Amino acid sequence: MNKKSVFTLVLLGAFTLSNVAYAELRRGDAFFDTTPTANYVKDIDTYINASVADENLLGAVTEAISDYEGISGANINYDTNASASSYDLRVAAGQLGLDYAGETRVYYLDDDDTYQRHYGTEAWDRVKIYLNREYMDYYNYSSANRRKTTIHEFGHGLGLVHQTSNSIMQQGKLSLTDPTQLDRDNLSWKY
């Protein structure tokens, strides 16, 4: 094997490895197998529990809504006039003795008009987001860290999966406070 071939192989290997380590999920790969419909995301009936303000996280939730509604290429809108009994998205907060900052739970409506937990292939009918102030305080989350988690969970609520780089969908205590260009591109492609 001549020097040129070896150099080409090394370059190719390095390129492949860098792509494996920092793969950015795009378009369909950036979403769960089942996702909200475009009809759902253009008018998301949203109920924000009083507990969100009680835990001093209302600003983060308001910012998340503003961020996603502001994506020019996507038709995403939250109607915050929903009631506690009838909503598409509910956000609540508390002091939970569980070790996470935020959780997103998805539900589908069964034949008896009852909301059931989503297993992966059912319709996407309802989302609940829980924000855990106890965890945020234990791990010394800054205001930016709290906002990142909130915007991250809202991203799940739109069907986005975790990413490993360049995305609000990266897991962890990070200081990103807006969906990135990658996130905006993916949401614009989808909605």
Partner 1 sequence: MEVGGVMKKSITVSIAAIALLIGGAFSYQQLNVPQKDYRVAISQADFIQFENIEEVEKYSGYIVQAEFTGKRSLKEWNLGEGEVKTASKSEVKIQKVYKGSLEEGDKISVYEPAYFDGDVFDTIEGYNLMNEEGTYVLFLRDTGDKEGYAIIGMYQGKYDISAGMQNTKAKQAQPDDTYRSLEEREYFGENVEQFKKLKKEVLEKYN
59: part of which helix (H) or strand (E)?
helix 58-69
Contact 88, 127 (CB under 8 A): yes
Task: Supply φ then ψ for residue 14, to 5 degrees.
Answer: -60, -40
Interface pattern 125-144 for partner 1 (x via CB under 8 A): ---x-x---xx--xx-----
Between residues 156 and 184, which has the closer beta carbon with respect to partner 1?
A: 156
Judged by CB under 8 A, the residue of 49, 167, 177, 186 near partner 1 is 49
173 binds partner 1 (CB under 8 A): yes
Judged by CB under 8 A, the residue of 147, 152, 184, 190 near partner 1 is 152
90 binds partner 1 (CB under 8 A): yes
Distance CA 185, CA 160 (A): 12
- 136 three-state secondary structure: helix
33 binds partner 1 (CB under 8 A): yes
The contacts of residue 162 (CB under 8 Å, 6+ apart) are: 169, 170, 171
Between residues 96 and 123, which has the closer beta carbon with respect to partner 1?
A: 96
Task: Supply φ then ψ for residue 8, to 5 degrees.
Answer: -65, -40
Residues in the site for partner 1, rule: CB under 8 A?
Answer: 33, 49-51, 54, 84, 90, 92-105, 116-121, 128, 130, 134-135, 138-139, 149, 152-153, 156, 162, 171-173
